[in-house]
């Protein structure tokens, strides 16, 4: 974010970000709209509003706003990377891939772009390149739980369960209550026959899930699988 902005716009962006992080997206959009009334092409407000619209699955509107922000700030790799994420969520994986590559061509030290490229290659079963990209991300920032979690999923696909378990454990050191990571670890613990540890982590994951979420159903299926394997 440009800290050289007028105080009124900076304050509105800060308010928007506050509500954005809390998941109060309607209030976040109101703050960003107020900033855009002051300056209709302010790239930070366009960018952040575009990310909120992504949360509402308004992908075309989100893409248009991010493109406007990039026109105003064409060398901002973070905005370009986020445009790739919107393309990915909209189901356009090939365009997402090209956009992530564009972000890295501008800033090769952006860990999130390497994570996104790693995830793309993982989906394509390009495990070696996926591992290469995720190792780049971890080297740049070892405190990103998402990176260690992604590495765990790659290692699991490479049939390296012990190494995968280590990566999931590293991710949980950073985000100990993340249900997605916990469930990934449960799956590997189950494969290794560590059923009691798997159950412990599964119950921990369920304590951090809403019963209405799809992950809750995944956790119930995993619970059934563990009980089945235990006999």
pLDDT tens column, 51-104: 999 999 999 999 999 999 999 999 999 999 999 999 999 999 999 999 999 999
Model confidence, pTM? 0.88
CA of residue 38 relative to chain centroid, distance = 31
* Average pLDDT score, the chain: 94
Helix axes 7-21, 43-55, angle to 10 degrees: 20
Q: What is the pLDDT of residues 34-57, one digit of tens each?
A: 999 999 999 999 999 999 999 999
- Residues 59, 28 contacting (CB under 8 angstroms): no
What is the pLDDT, as a whole number, of residue 193? 92
Q: CA 182, CA 4: separation in Å to the nearest integer?
A: 41
Which residue in 91, 95, 66 sits closest to 79, CA to CA?
66
What is the pLDDT, as a whole number, of residue 90? 97
pLDDT tier, 218 (very low <50, low <70, confident <90, very high otherwise): confident
pLDDT tier, 2 (very low <50, low <70, confident <90, very high otherwise): low
What is the pLDDT, as a whole number, of residue 3? 58
Longest dimension (CA), the chain: 65
Does 178 score more than 90 pLDDT? Answer: yes
Q: CA 45, CA 68: separation in Å to the nearest integer?
A: 11
Phi-psi label, residue 193: left if phi above 0, alpha if psi -120 to 50, beta otherwise? left
Q: What is the pLDDT of residues 135-171, one digit of tens each?
A: 999 999 999 999 999 999 999 999 999 999 999 999 9
Q: What percent of the chain has pLDDT over 90?
A: 83
Who has greater pLDDT, 208 or 147? 147
74: tokens are 């064409």
Q: CA 78, CA 104: separation in Å to the nearest integer?
A: 10
What is the pLDDT, as a whole number, of residue 17? 94
Helix axes 161-174, 145-157, angle to 10 degrees: 170
Does 4 score more than 70 pLDDT? Answer: no
73 DSSP assignment: S
Q: CA 58, CA 45: separation in Å to the nearest integer?
A: 17
């Amino acid at each position: 974010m440009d800290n050289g902005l007028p105080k009124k716009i900076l304050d509105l962006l800060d308010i928007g970000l506050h509500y954005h992080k809390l998941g109060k997206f309607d209030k976040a959009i109101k703050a960003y709209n107020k900033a855009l009334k002051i300056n209709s092409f302010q790239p930070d407000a366009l960018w952040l509003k575009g990310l909120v619209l992504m949360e509402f699955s308004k992908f075309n509107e989100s893409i248009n706003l991010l493109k406007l922000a990039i026109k105003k700030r064409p060398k901002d790799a973070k905005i370009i990377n986020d445009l790739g994420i919107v393309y990915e969520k909209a189901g356009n994986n090939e365009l997402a891939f090209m956009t992530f590559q564009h972000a890295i061509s501008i800033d090769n030290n952006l860990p999130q772009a390497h994570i996104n490229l790693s995830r793309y290659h993982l989906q394509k079963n390009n495990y070696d390149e996926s591992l290469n990209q995720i190792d780049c991300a971890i080297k740049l920032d070892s405190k990103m739980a998402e990176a260690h979690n992604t590495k765990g999923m790659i290692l699991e696909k490479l049939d390296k369960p012990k190494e995968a378990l280590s990566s999931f454990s590293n991710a949980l050191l950073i985000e100990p209550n993340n249900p997605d990571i916990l469930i990934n670890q449960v799956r590997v613990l189950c494969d290794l026959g560590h059923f009691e540890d798997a159950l412990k982590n599964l119950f921990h994951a369920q304590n951090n899930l809403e019963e209405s979420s799809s992950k809750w159903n995944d956790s119930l299926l995993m619970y059934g699988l563990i009980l089945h394997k235990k006999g």
